[in-house]
Chain A
């Protein structure tokens, strides 16, 4: 079985993002980027499936600028076999990514498409679901456990208040949640080997996908600063302030 894993280049989770002075977005110049952590979990799961003998080939895909090659190299160093960069400088929204992945899935015919449940930059949590719909294939989102059997996969999902296990017929789309696994460190020898693994570059135009944004960002604002706390003298004052100032009781 072939696995297609989608990986996104995002602002690193250690970076405290700041809004651009013109409020058009967040500052991305001179900032560290890395693979979306949920996508790292998806890659790790694919690599484990390959190590277990369930998967035969892992193809990592990224949509973004030339620099997203670095993200693909990380996936290759973790154990993916080859990469596909869908290169574009344009702002890419989930629907466009889902359409691109649909094209590639039709071409590559993977038994499983693995994605992170969401990217930590826009927190959309849409691509996996849209892709499943476009492909007309079953989806298992927020996966915390995968068990692939002949022609199907049992996906344990993290839902409100518990776990839900669904059985999906393959090919299927699965999105990874935090507890699915703990990704490995890419070792130095594997990073070296990854430099020699193939990465194919295509464009959305060549795939016939219109990536024009359907949503327009009006303004990006920083959260309001938290007011400093105050100390009150006694319970009566507290109750009074909760009534008159905070207006919560």
Chain B
């Protein structure tokens, strides 16, 4: 489309999460004359932000040394840390691994932090536009990224513009910052076009599902942190839970499962639901009410899966690249730091005529973030051989050796890992009870997700037959189980069965794009403003 309007900025940032906002802020701190624009597909900043979250303030401290005076929403200092190994009926307390010691950290709502960061950015002159999804990357004749286009609004299901059609616009920039978070749709396009993973291991992912509860004040212990491993997962599946006590009687509880799991019958959603009924966990929810639900994939590959970070005209920051520290189960500080490092190089680049911020990967290598990720690089891959070997290996390496080993264990892609259905064990999950365990639909309801109904599906199938001929016949339609929002439903009766895609339920977690066995599903952005409306997740 050539009739789109265009606007020009020095820098356009895609995504108003911790990495994108930190990039924008650092750029304006370094050079107030730069024009910086941030767009986000959520209806407001924070609407699509979901994290545990125990937050390490190291990067924030560097971005705003006076964050306390500025009123950053870090109000609950991390307190008592528990690390539990669960069996079906019992919980055994393990020594807390060094990476999970949280003294000096805070339990926060990452959405609240992002809203605060957005306010700080706007005060510095950053233009932030929520409700606008970046749908396309724009390239120069010589292949350099020259910006992004926002999606058209008001297009009907039949792909024909409706009465209130508003065409997208082109945002041109000297540098485009891709800060989309894990498995961003434009980051994926760029990665394929430039083969950014050529010299890195494949990225490996996890799916995090989270609920926010309001609990009995008598049971509330602000600052309390619990992590568990073990039950309900078997020893061959990587994953675990978190349970954090925030302020105002709120508890954040969630479960993260490695998307390299093998059994197509596994349902991350149901595993999370039944986890809550463990005798060591359930009591905290007595008389409590669930107030929010959401899900998001995370990058778990660490240092060896980090792609090339720059191309002419663009850089990747935050979890769009995969800076998360999986051993710490934290990524926000890394996302912020990567954005700040990128900003420092981009600010220098924009003083001249260069197109690629080659300084960014260099300053990253000299930063504490690189040190930090290097020290834990073998923890996640060690669990490829199961929970017990993984635990033993990580205890030795992170305890005595602190990552100072001469080898690096590799990562594999997640989607080829599924076993076929006939050779897999069916899992019998307990039924929802409506007080502690819920079904998908009542959960999606409180994610406040909304998509304009009359728009083309934003979930695209490369081959419309594959969901039945491959996914159903060989894997018994795993998308029905891994999708935490009930987007995928096999309907009809043999032989007329078909896959129904309820795109309006989508929580933008990106799991389908990652886990589909033949990579037949591509997640694209829906109309801007669509998706979950998380309160303070």
Contact = CB atoms under 8 A, between A and B. Distances in A.
Interface of A: 12, 14-16, 18, 21, 27, 29-32, 34, 182-185, 187-189, 191-192
Contacts of A34: 43
Contact of A188 (B7, B109, B214, B448): B7
A187 B450 contact: no
A185 B152 CA distance: 10
B7 A15 contact: no
B112 A16 contact: no
A42 to B, nearest CB: 16
A31 B47 CA distance: 9
Contacts of A12: 43, 448, 533
Given A188-B129, A189-B7, A14 B164 contact: no
Contacts, number: 57
Given A16-B445, A182-B164, A188-B129, A30 B169 contact: no
Contacts of A14: 43, 448-450, 533
A29 B246 CA distance: 15
Nearest to B450: A14
A70 to B, nearest CB: 9
Given A21-B214, A188-B7, A189-B7, A32 B44 contact: yes
Contact of A18 (B39, B111, B291): B291
Nearest to B529: A185
B154 interface: yes
Interface in B143-158: 150, 153-154
B502 interface: no
A119 B360 CA distance: 50
Q: Give chain A's interface secondary structure class.
A: loop
B446 interface: yes
B166 A182 contact: no
Given A30-B536, A182-B163, A188 B132 contact: yes
A175 B411 CA distance: 61
B533 A15 contact: yes
Nearest to B447: A16
A121 to B, nearest CB: 15
A16 B43 CA distance: 15
- The 3 tightest CB contacts between A and B, nearest first, are A30-B536, A14-B450, A185-B166
A184 B169 contact: no
B47 A16 contact: no
Interface string B437-465: 00000000110111000000000000000
Interface in B85-129: 109, 111-112, 127, 129
A184 B249 CA distance: 41
B3 to A, nearest CB: 14
A30 B112 contact: yes
Given A30-B536, A32-B44, A188-B132, A15 B448 contact: yes
A137 to B, nearest CB: 31
Given A32-B44, A184-B164, 4 more contacts: A12-B533, A16-B446, A188-B132, A188-B169
Nearest to B42: A32
Contacts of A189: 5, 7, 169
Nearest to B537: A30
Contacts of B171: 188
